[in-house]
Amino acid sequence: MFTLDFISGLIGFILTLLIFSYLINDNPLFRMAVYLFIGAASGYAAAVVWQYLLAPQVSVVIYSEDLGEWLLAAIPLILGVSLLSKLSPKISSLGSVAMALFVGVGAATALGGAVLGTLVPQVGAAIGAIDVQADSGDAFAKLIEGGVMLAGTALTLAYFQFSAERAPDGTPKRNIVFEGIAGIGRLFIAITFGVLFAGVYMAALTAMIERLNAMVDFIRPWIGF
């Protein structure tokens, strides 16, 4: 009799084989597995958004007797419904206001996240790295480490200097000293990308090993091991 564990294991085994079929060539079986994954992930995300974000807010508004809350709920509802007008070219202009607000809020959120979540912590890390009094370890080693981090930050930012004159082919035309500084910054960027790629590769390799172990555990009882 098939149990739930057996059925789930069989589905995982088949989907893993479909994903591994990409090693041979891009084929419809691989694309089917990818579409299933995207669909399941999208459905799960939609369920989470409704369960933990939309449904509580809707319940508060429905059971509230405050006119102010009803008005506050009506504004995003109208804007959200107006976005559906983008599906038809004839009435797409009705959703321009909501789209403009959506893009503006998204851009402001992204800018605030970049400043507060990346630039400010990076500046703080660069300053804290050369603070030899903040750590009880070897002050000289900490100073060297902080100097490398500070130099890497400054040289990487120097690489993105776009105010230089442009050559006829459109490339920045810097003086030889600044070009050398930008080259060192490019080296730091390459090292960073290499580390990120290695991290992604290790994560993918770990996932592959986990799936191979799952497949072996699934077929082991059937082959007598």
56-66 pLDDT tens trace: 877 777 777 77
When pLDDT is cut at 50, 70 and 90, the band that residue 39 belongs to is: very high
Query: What average pLDDT score do residues 44-52 get?
Result: 91
> Which is more confidently placed, 26 or 132?
26
When pLDDT is cut at 50, 70 and 90, the band that residue 4 belongs to is: confident
Beta strand residue intervals within 21-103, DSSP E? none
d(CA 94, CA 128): 51
What tokens were used for 144? 């060297």
Lowest-confidence pick of 23-27, 98-102, 170-174: 170-174
**Vertex 169: Cα angle to 165 and 175 (nearest 5):** 35
Average pLDDT, the chain: 81
Percent of the chain with pLDDT over 90: 13
d(CA 120, CA 152): 16
pLDDT at 1 over 80: no
Query: What average pLDDT score do residues 102-108 get?
Result: 90
What tokens were used for 146? 């902080």
Q: Which pTM does this prediction carry? A: 0.56
When pLDDT is cut at 50, 70 and 90, the band that residue 133 belongs to is: low
What tokens were used for 97? 């206001």
pLDDT at 194 over 90: yes
Task: Please report the pLDDT score of residue 41 as a whole number.
Answer: 93
Query: What average pLDDT score do residues 7-29 get?
Result: 84
Query: What average pLDDT score do residues 123-134 get?
Result: 67
Start-to-end C-alpha separation, the chain = 21
